[in-house]
Amino acid sequence: MSYVGSQNPPQPRRPRRRPLTVAVAALVPGALLGWVVYDAVGEGGTDQASAQTPAASTSAPPTAPPTASSTSDDEKPSPAPSGPLKGKVVVIDPGHNPANFQHTAEINRKVNIGTNWKGCDTTGTSTNSGYTEAKFTLDVAHRLRTLLQQQGATVKLTQDGDRPYGPCIDERAKIGNKAEADAVVSIHADGSGAGNRGFHVILPAKVKAGTADTGPIIAPSRDLGERIAGNFARATGTAPSNYVGDGTGLVTRKDLGGLNLSTVPKVFIECGNMRDSEDVALLTSGAWRQKAARGISEGLVSFLEA
């Protein structure tokens, strides 16, 4: 994901009504351990960059056949086993689609996000060596789905690399709404400049325009975002973004259709910067991606059991 090019710039910072850091007691005290690890070993992760196609040096992912998508409007989430989250529905939104770059006309089509019109989707970003954001988000989504299902949650993905492109950002929101999800998390990685590091969680701003009305979901989404941020820091040992969010790991935006059009609690998480070599070492590590999935899962569990 990115704040430039086909993505939107960050909104001006609002005056904060209270200090808000990932380390405060309202989040997870254990997140302080993440800071210690970060200082000791230099781990981190962040997000912001130009959306682009995969590097030419890598082979392009094959175009998925236009078969019925697992996210069609008629599909219902699969039954989940018994566990502490039995009866809870979680929608995971893996950012972008591996084949988006082969369908530029389709993903450039404008859709209404309430405040304005935006492109259906983007290609996402990639590392300099060609590891794509779309591949990263699907991998983390699969790991996260397994962890949540093990605790009894019913889990639905907005896409699983099983459709030619998309879904568009308005349809992504619709999937969570139709599932009447108890929580939705959209997974991304950024592509900012080298030296920009650290994760951040994006929260919905107050929007009431057209079909968008985020008023009812602002408070629960903030609660969800704070819990994910604290647990992500603790599980991965990474620090909040050093370039957005004033060190809190939390950013509020009103220009994202996936948040504007949601009627259920939803946040985005930018797990790291795919253009910073230190973050890339984390994002391309399967062991670290498992930690990332665990951190997001623990944040979701904390929210759903509250």
Domain boundaries, the chain: 31-54+87-305
CATH class as words, domain 31-54+87-305:
alpha beta
pLDDT tens across 269-301, in order? Answer: 999 999 999 999 999 999 999 999 999 999 999
Q: Is 11 in contact with 255 (CB distance < 8 Å)?
A: yes
pLDDT tens across 238-268, in order? Answer: 999 999 999 999 999 999 999 999 999 999 9
List the single range of 20-29, 39-48, 136-145 with lowest mean pLDDT: 39-48
Average pLDDT over residues 160-182: 97
Q: Is 91 in contact with 176 (CB distance < 8 Å)?
A: yes
Q: CA 62 to CA 52: how far, in whole Å? A: 17
Instruction: Give, in order, the Cα–Cα distances in Å from 112 to each of 101, 206, 246, 260, 264.
Output: 21, 17, 30, 10, 18
pLDDT tens across 73-99, in order? Answer: 444 555 546 889 999 999 999 999 999
Phi, psi of 146 (to 5 degrees): -60, -45
Q: Is the dihedral of CA 306, 180, 85, 200 positive or negative?
A: negative
